[in-house]
């Protein structure tokens, strides 16, 4: 019982430490690497640019092991904005473009990725398995949900996924990767 309780305390302490690093404002003198990329949803190469900049940033920061999963997550989140986000009335401009900000906070132990859009509608994060693994087989497409697959992928790859409202409108969908502090790779 004591070993289990000690493990729970260790897990809670780790989660609080990660939260503190997510919440802190980027400081250029810290051990972290930070980038915010602004894109526009109507640009035809938005997804390609988001994926390529994700890889360039992470490779430059020495987090090569996180590149593939982070590229896929950024692609899914930016794709959701391109295909589904409708700007709030206070942010919409007739004939204007929809702004997308992709934020990276890389610490030795964590990678935080945030995708901000101008739509305050909360994302529909899946609440666990949406289908029974026993149903998978030759007709897997028949049992997969019509929507939410991208966020399901994000939840499977990231250690945590959440969203925050933005002022004066819009939201940011965040995800966290737990990294091996020495190599910048994923913990297994």
Mean pLDDT throughout 30-54? 91
107-144 pLDDT, tens per residue?
A: 888 999 999 999 999 888 766 555 555 555 555 555 55
Query: Does residue 174 carry a pLDDT above 70?
Result: yes
Q: DSSP 3-state assignment of 8? A: helix
Which residue would you say has higher pLDDT here, 182 or 20? 20
Residue 34 pairs with which residues in a beta bridge? 105
Tokens 């940033």 identify what position? 57
pLDDT on residue 132: 55
Query: Does residue 28 carry a pLDDT above 90?
Result: no
The CA distance from 175 to 159, in Å, is 7
Q: Please say whether the beta carbons of 110 and 178 come within 8 A.
A: yes
Instruction: List the one residue out of 49, 43, 101, 98 whose CA is nearest residue 71.
Output: 49
For residue 104, the tally of other CB atoms under 10 A from its CB is 23
142-158 pLDDT, tens per residue?
A: 555 556 678 888 988 99
pLDDT on residue 143: 52
Instruction: List the one residue out of 181, 178, 163 whose CA is nearest residue 11.
Output: 178
Instruction: List the one residue out of 102, 58, 59 whose CA is nearest residue 81.
Output: 102
């Amino acid at each position: 019982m004591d070993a289990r309780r000690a493990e729970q305390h260790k897990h809670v302490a780790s989660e609080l430490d990660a939260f503190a690093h997510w919440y802190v404002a980027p400081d250029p003198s810290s051990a972290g690497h930070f980038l915010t990329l602004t894109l526009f949803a109507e640009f035809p190469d938005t997804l390609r640019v988001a994926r390529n900049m994700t890889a360039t940033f992470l490779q430059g920061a020495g987090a090569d092991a996180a590149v593939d999963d982070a590229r896929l997550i950024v692609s899914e989140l930016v794709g959701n904005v391109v295909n589904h986000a409708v700007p709030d009335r206070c942010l919409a401009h007739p004939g204007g473009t929809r702004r997308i900000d992709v934020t990276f906070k890389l610490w030795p132990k964590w990678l935080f990725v945030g995708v901000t859009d101008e739509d305050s509608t909360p994302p529909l994060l899946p609440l666990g398995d949406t289908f029974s693994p026993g149903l998978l087989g030759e007709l897997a497409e028949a049992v997969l949900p019509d929507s939410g697959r991208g966020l399901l992928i994000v939840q499977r790859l990231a250690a945590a996924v959440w969203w925050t409202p933005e002022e004066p409108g819009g939201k940011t969908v965040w995800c966290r990767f737990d990294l091996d502090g020495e190599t910048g790779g994923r913990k297994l």
